[in-house]
Chains A and B, each alone.
Chain A
Amino acid sequence: MELICPAGTPSSLRTAVDAGADAVYCGFRNETNARNFPGLNFSPEELAEGVTYAHRRGAKVLVAINTFPRAGAIGLWHQAVDDAVKAGAAALILCDIGLMAYTAEHYPGTRLHVSVQAAAANVDAIRFYVERFNAKRVVLPRVLSVPEIAAITRGTACEVEVFVFGGLCAMAEGRCSLSSYATGLSPNMNGVCSPASHVAYEEQHGTITSRLGGFTINKFGSGEPAAYPTLCKGRFRTDLSTGYIFEDPVSLDAATLLPGLRDAGVTALKIEGRQRSRAYIENVVRSFREALSALDEGRPIPAGMLRPLSEGQSNTLGAYRKTWR
């Protein structure tokens, strides 16, 4: 299985490649990618340099252009496709039907990967992208169990890539407007979720309240670490109970599932976290490289090897375990 690693900056790209990534994925410094955060991402020139660096070490660079182009401003997204192809990207990771059509028409020789933002969760949806736009790989949304993934790989010739580590959307990706409901900025349109520009913390009588767009997302008592107010990982109140009603502040760690994912016919494993530090990238990539080597050599995979790196001190297998639902 290929190891696909995040690169938020040119130096992270080099770090990921050196730590054993088979491919890194990155995006341009604008709203064409779903990690449109200040201080992150690549200029076309930086991308070209990154591709050269990766190629010299036998790695590939995949470019995520995985937001939905804004009506009346498609040129920005077309430019991103043109620049990525020119820089030598091994594949483009896309979610928008119109942008896939543009890419398939203008660059038929370029590999097209279906982004997780397209939420292609079954073989018919995957077939649509393969037949219409010659997609070569699909990144599956984080809504499927391992047996369901196995059924998908049996039912399609398209390569399958799955997330194994990092942040975890509780909602089907590319189909969530929670962030824009509270802030006006969304993953689909702006490449941001629960953006820092709309976050506020307030301390009163020893309680820290975190807010997003003015809505209280969580409250923390003294000694409790105040987590970032990602909307779907907040605490809310209903008549039935109060708490983490959508998802606990956990992140995905599917390292223990690697044998099952291999047996399920998965082609590539993806690590989330283009916004993460170089030290984090190096640790995670190295750990997964070791885990994959262990898998190839028939050795047991060390459990919990990455726990100290996870965002909320606890991990989940997410939808890979059916009872998550």
Chain B
Amino acid sequence: MKLTLGPVLYNWEPSVWRDFYFRIADEAPVDVVCVGEVVCSKRLPFFQDLVPEVVERLAAAGKEVLLSSQALITLERERRQTASLAREADLLVEANDVTALAHLVGRPHAVGPYVNVYNESTLAWLARNGASRVCLPPELPASSIVALAKACSDVELEVWSFGRVPLAISARCYHARLHKLTKDNCQFVCGKDPDGLPTDTLDGQAFLSVNGVQTLSSTYANLIGSLPDLAAMGVAACRLSPQTCDMIAVASAFRGVANGMLDPAEGQHALDLICAEASFSNGFFSGTAGAHHKAAAAV
């Protein structure tokens, strides 16, 4: 089982962003690392200049590096950026929208979790047109993952396994809206919430997390208890999505369970300590409401 570190979804300070990847390069037992701005094109200029040194450090550490494209592209500037990324990158590009796919078909590429791959027919089409790895939408239940893995053995399938679940993307920036600003003059207020802005129900129950134009779950997806099942299904990789908790420790726990050095309950216990403030969920995987969490044995 490979481990993939997904792209940082939040607006982190550029130096924090760089140092995070440097530490991943040096210490994290992950095989693949995604780099790039998926959520909001306005953030990219802050860390764009740091991308080459981050990529170099990761590659030198033996990580396979993917460049992730933006998930929702409406502006002409974003369209040009995506075209240039897809056409000119030396590294494998992970398409997070059909916009990038338009440039990538016919060449080797990866497909990210924001492209709707729900069935074997779509997966086969993508594989025929150059997709070598596909991170499936987090909404997919285990029954679909099994069917996809059976149908298409020539694509490396990846499953969203750790971190808040991206649930929606909008043209509207909810961070700006909450700060009574417009998106065009947002003052980058999303940077105040490096793990997302907690959004609770009126009864005070933790529910969602706002990240600019993206809405994520309040819970962290956590499939560590299902790693043996995922491997048996033919899933090639687990995606760990960066949060501000110690991602080296998170990756080590997943690696331990994947290698059989830890049993799933020990892995779960490790995660309970690493991200003590987080609530976990695996409802999407078990085919119920995404927010639900069942202990591993019951999944």
Contact = CB atoms under 8 A, between A and B. Distances in A.
Contacts of B145: 71
A70 to B, nearest CB: 6
Contacts of A309: none
Interface in B62-118: 71-76, 78-79, 82-83, 97-99, 101-103, 105, 114, 116, 118
B56 to A, nearest CB: 29
B147 A237 contact: no
Contacts of B82: 124
Contact of A72 (B105, B147, B290): B147
Interface in A186-203: 186, 188-189
A124 B201 contact: no
Contact of A172 (B138, B171, B283): B171
Interface size class of A (residues with CB under 8 A): 35 or more
B178 interface: yes
Contacts of A7: none
Contact of A215 (B83, B118, B139, B207): B207
A299 interface: no
A260 interface: no
A101 B287 contact: no
B126 interface: yes
Contact of B205 (A180, A186, A215, A219): A215
A96 interface: yes
Residue from B116, B140, B147, B200 having most chain A Cβ neighbours under 10 A: B116
Interface string A299-322: 000000000000000000001001
Contacts of B287: 184
B289 A177 contact: no
Contacts of A257: none
B103 to A, nearest CB: 7
Interface stretch (A40-48, A54-62, A115-123): A115-123
B204 A237 contact: yes
B167 A181 contact: yes
A131 B288 CA distance: 37
B239 to A, nearest CB: 16
Contact of B119 (A98, A143, A170, A236): A98
B260 interface: no
A172 B168 contact: yes
Interface stretch (A241-249, A262-270, A272-280, A289-297): A241-249
8 contacts: A98-B125, A123-B79, A129-B98, A172-B169, A189-B118, A236-B200, A237-B201, A325-B182
Interface of B: 71-76, 78-79, 82-83, 97-99, 101-103, 105, 114, 116, 118-126, 137-140, 143-148, 151, 165, 167-174, 176-179, 182-184, 197-205, 207-208, 210, 215, 217, 283-284, 287-291
Top 10 A-B pairs, shortest CB-CB distance: A98-B121, A143-B171, A98-B122, A71-B147, A68-B118, A72-B147, A181-B290, A128-B102, A171-B168, A71-B144
